[in-house]
């Protein structure tokens, strides 16, 4: 990965290291464009580490009659799964049908049939309708007096930040230069056309300029901030809504599988088991505060707890049961008169008079198609005469990818037998790193014991291969530890800091700052005001 002095002239400069930006960088670099990506913080710092972590067809878009969107993201699921079968894992979703809420049995049955058809779901994975008794057998925690029946349908779960990182690594392998902790401070304009950007290196405070034939703004919730800087914030604008997830011990909310249930206010919520925890989300509320200070409020958390307790009455979750949380912003496109939940999740491309191309909206799931559309536009407008390849990202396997689900299982079994790992650790490694797990295991130091040994090996892998520059990068966006195992972050804060100080030659002052930042992140994730 790159954090060295970049060359100064590029064909394409991408602003933003979320899934949209890294997707564009991979597509452009693999077609032959000299590409650089500039990210102000870490990869996936924005919405791309704060989603529900599903690669999904978006059942709710069917309710909004957005057939085109369902078809596109529905068929993309299988492609993204194929690119990284270890990281995008099939997950059957249970949809309980209520007496009083939702679409009802027959409409849901027809809706899911259409969903499977639009998304081209394989016959064996197509929706299965369940009787009331079958539904309660699948999930005995459900409130019995309200269940009318249910359905099981196919989705995929992932780790959004890890998916973003692996796409960034693939982009780098295809020649893209990647800069993190570098903020685009302004645009360079010549003859009324954008031809580069001024960049602030956030870690050193130095300023430098990069030139590019085309600049693409893929800054997610910050897209309009940059359009404003470019004096091109006209017409359509972003409408930001906040989505919160909470995490509880799986023992306290032991759902047997992922479940998508109706709430009294007409919304739907996911509860997803993940190793030792279950996570629940999401809310969908208007957001007008600081874009870099998005956290879950007490009110957000209580809303989710009420929703769970109403549908699973024996569970009785309380505020003190919530171990951790995350909150993200949906960069949706504003439509007059529509509420947060009604807004379309479709992506849109805006072109300014000065040539800045901005892309907003969309889904994690549709990143590849969004990238293809943007790069097609860039080539049509600026590189029509250059001999470049057509988009082939559907065939670029991501780093660590194993052949298929069966190969992942075999690999996991090998780790259990040969490396003497317990099943949960083997599953964690394979689902996060795929075949790269072996490299991590080789980095284990003999003089360190147990859990810390593996954690330090993982940290060293991420520093060497994944551009980890702060403890927060590692705990939030490489491992998800802050969300899914916050106790481990608290327990091993000191040894992790010592390892980073030694490996990255941090001063004592820098190490102390890192410690304070990490403690703040722990508080933001687990204390609700
Ligand atoms: P971001 O990930 O926000 O990336 C933008 C990047 O630009 C940031 O990293 C930021 O630091 C950088 N940046 C900003 N300004 C500058 C600057 N001046 N210079 C340099 N860099 C800059 N989609 C799904 O498919 N499945 C789901 O399950 C799902 N669940 C969701 C749940 C929630 C609660 C939310 C909020 C969204 C969900 N989505 C889901 C949608 C999906 O997460 C987003 O569409 C996607 O992550 C947006 O990615 P992005 O790259 O456009 O934006």
Is 337 or 286 the better-scoring residue by pLDDT? Answer: 286
Residue 98 has what pLDDT?
85
Better-predicted residue by pLDDT, 372 or 67: 372
pLDDT at 1 over 60: no
> Ligand 1 in contact with 227 (CB < 6 A)?
no
Please give the biggest Cα pair distance in the chain. 70
Average pLDDT of the chain, as a whole number: 94
Which stretches within 318-422 are classed as H helix?
Answer: 367-382, 405-418
| pLDDT average, residue stretch 383-404 | 96
Q: Which residues contact 322 (CB under 8 A, 6 or more apart)?
A: 246, 247, 248, 301, 305, 526, 528
If we measure between CA atoms, which residue out of 96, 103, 99 comes closest to residue 141? 96
Cα 226 to middle of ligand 1, angstroms? 15
Q: Best substitution site from 6, 18, 156, 221 to test ligand 1's pocket, by max atoms within 8 Å of Cβ?
A: 18
Strands 147-157 and 285-286: unpaired
E strand spans, 394-459: none
Q: Ligand 1 within 6 A of 255 CB?
A: no
Name the residue with higher pLDDT: 125 or 33. 33
User: Residue range 99-113: average pLDDT?
Assistant: 81
Residue 6 confidence (pLDDT): 61
Tens-place pLDDT, residues 451-472: 999 999 999 999 999 999 999 9
Q: How far is the CA of 47 from the centre of ligand 1 (A)?
A: 3
The percentage of the chain sitting over the pLDDT mark of 70, rounded to a whole number, equals: 98
Q: Is the pLDDT of residue 4 over 50?
A: no
Question: How does pLDDT run across 305-333, given as a tens digit for each residue?
Answer: 999 999 999 999 999 999 999 999 999 98
Pocket of ligand 1 contains residue 45 by CB under 6 Å: yes
Q: Is the CB of 40 under 6 A from ligand 1?
A: yes
Closest-CA residue, ligand 1 atom 39, reads 51
328 within ligand 1 shell (Cβ under 6 A): yes
With residue 177 as reference, give the H or E element that holds it: strand 177-179
Distances (CA, A) of 174 to 178, 213, 390, 392, 408: 11, 19, 15, 12, 25
pLDDT (0 to 100) of residue 7: 66
């Amino acid at each position: 990965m790159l954090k060295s002095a970049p060359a100064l002239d590029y064909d394409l400069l991408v602003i933003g290291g979320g899934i949209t930006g890294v997707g564009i960088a991979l597509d452009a670099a693999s077609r032959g464009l000299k590409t650089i990506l500039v990210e102000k913080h870490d990869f996936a710092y924005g919405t791309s580490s704060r989603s529900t972590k599903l690669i999904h067809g978006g059942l709710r878009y069917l309710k909004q009659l957005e057939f085109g969107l369902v078809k596109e993201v529905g068929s993309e699921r299988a492609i993204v799964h194929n690119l990284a079968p270890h990281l995008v894992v099939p997950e059957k979703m249970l949809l309980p049908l209520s007496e009083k809420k939702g679409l009802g049995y027959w409409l849901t049955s027809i809706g899911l049939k259409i969903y499977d058809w639009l998304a081209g779901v394989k016959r064996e994975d197509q929706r299965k309708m369940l009787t009331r008794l079958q539904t309660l057998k699948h999930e005995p925690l459900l409130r019995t007096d309200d269940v009318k029946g249910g359905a099981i349908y196919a989705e995929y779960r992932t780790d959004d930040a890890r998916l973003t990182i692996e796409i960034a690594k693939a982009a780098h392998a295809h020649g893209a230069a990647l800069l993190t902790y570098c903020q685009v401070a302004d645009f360079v304009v010549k003859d009324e056309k954008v031809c580069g950007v001024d960049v602030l290196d956030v870690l050193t405070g130095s300023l430098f300029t990069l030139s590019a034939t085309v600049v693409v703004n893929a800054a997610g919730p910050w897209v309009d901030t940059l359009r404003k800087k470019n004096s091109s914030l006209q017409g359509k604008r972003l409408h930001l809504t906040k989505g919160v997830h909470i995490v509880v011990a799986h023992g306290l909310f032991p759902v047997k599988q992922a479940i998508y249930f109706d709430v009294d206010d007409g919304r739907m919520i996911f509860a997803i088991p993940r190793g030792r925890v279950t996570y629940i989300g999401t809310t969908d509320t208007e957001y007008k505060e600081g874009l870099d200070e998005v956290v879950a409020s007490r009110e957000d958390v209580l809303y989710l707890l009420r929703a769970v307790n109403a549908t699973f009455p024996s569970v009785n979750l309380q505020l003190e049961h919530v171990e951790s949380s995350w909150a993200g912003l949906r960069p949706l496109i504003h439509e007059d008169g529509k509420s947060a939940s009604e807004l379309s999740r479709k992506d849109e491309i805006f072109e300014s008079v000065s040539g800045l191309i901005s892309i907003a909206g969309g889904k994690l799931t549709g990143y590849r198609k969004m990238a293809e559309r943007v790069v097609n536009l860039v080539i049509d407008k600026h590189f029509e005469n250059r001999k470049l390849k057509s988009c082939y990202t559907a065939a670029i396997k991501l780093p660590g990818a194993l052949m298929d689900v069966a190969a992942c299982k075999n690999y996991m079994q090998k780790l259990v037998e040969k490396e003497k790992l317990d099943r949960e650790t083997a599953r964690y490694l394979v689902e996060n790193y795929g075949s790269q797990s072996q490299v991590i295991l080789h980095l284990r130091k003999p003089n360190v014991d147990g859990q810390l040994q593996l954690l330090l090996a993982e940290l060293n892998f991420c520093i060497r291969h994944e551009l980890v520059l702060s403890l927060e990068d590692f705990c939030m966006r490489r491992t998800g530890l802050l969300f899914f195992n916050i106790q481990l972050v608290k327990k091993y804060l000191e040894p992790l800091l010592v390892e980073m100080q030694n490996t990255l030659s941090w001063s004592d002052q820098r190490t102390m700052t890192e410690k304070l930042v990490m403690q703040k992140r722990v508080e933001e994730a687990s204390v609700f005001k």
